[in-house]
Amino acid sequence: MYYSLTGNNRKIAELLAKELSADIEEVKTVETLDLKNGLSMAKLALGAWLGKTPVIREASHKPSEYELLILGAPVWAGKLSSPMKAYMLENSATFPEKTALYVCCGGPKGDAAVDEMKKYSGKTPAATIVIREEKVKTGSYEANALEFASQLKKQ
């Protein structure tokens, strides 16, 4: 499961799904969040910073039917982006024992969002990774994402 507003986390999720032959699904908000439609980054950031969560659609895949659940999302205002927070709060009771977590962020401080994800999942993840947005833009994220996938294959 991933959330992506501007496409970076989607790219990582698609690569991981291909590498691991996994099902993939995006967390969808009921109200469309679109930076082109008058919604400002500041409003999203403030909401995340205040810990608010949007209403999300029910996902079609059930985590409990899987051996491994990978969760990936952007960092907003230094925190886990709110749609993924909403998904995790609503679904963590059904998560399998084996989870893996990633965040993609613009700046150097993604670890706090990974820590939030650990807290919401209530589990020790099998693997975690923080990928900088610039690596997605240049394509060099692929090596990091494939290393993350290879760690998961070994376990």
Ligand X SMILES: Cc1cc2nc3c(=O)[nH]c(=O)nc-3n(C[C@H](O)[C@H](O)[C@H](O)COP(=O)(O)O)c2cc1C
Q: Does 7 bind ligand X (CB under 6 A)?
A: yes
- Interface pick for ligand X out of 27, 71, 74, 148 (rule CB under 6 A): 74
Distance between CA atoms of residues 152 and 155, nearest Å: 5
Q: 110 to 139, contacts with ligand X by CB under 6 A?
A: 133
CB nearer to ligand X: give 77 or 98: 77
- How are strands ordered across the β-sheet holding 68-76? 79-80, 68-76, 98-105, 127-132
For CA atoms 35, 49, 80, 138, the dihedral sign is: positive
For CA atoms 107, 53, 91, 12, the dihedral sign is: negative
- Interface pick for ligand X out of 18, 23, 64, 106 (rule CB under 6 A): 106
CB nearer to ligand X: give 98 or 144: 144
- Interface pick for ligand X out of 24, 33, 68, 78 (rule CB under 6 A): 78
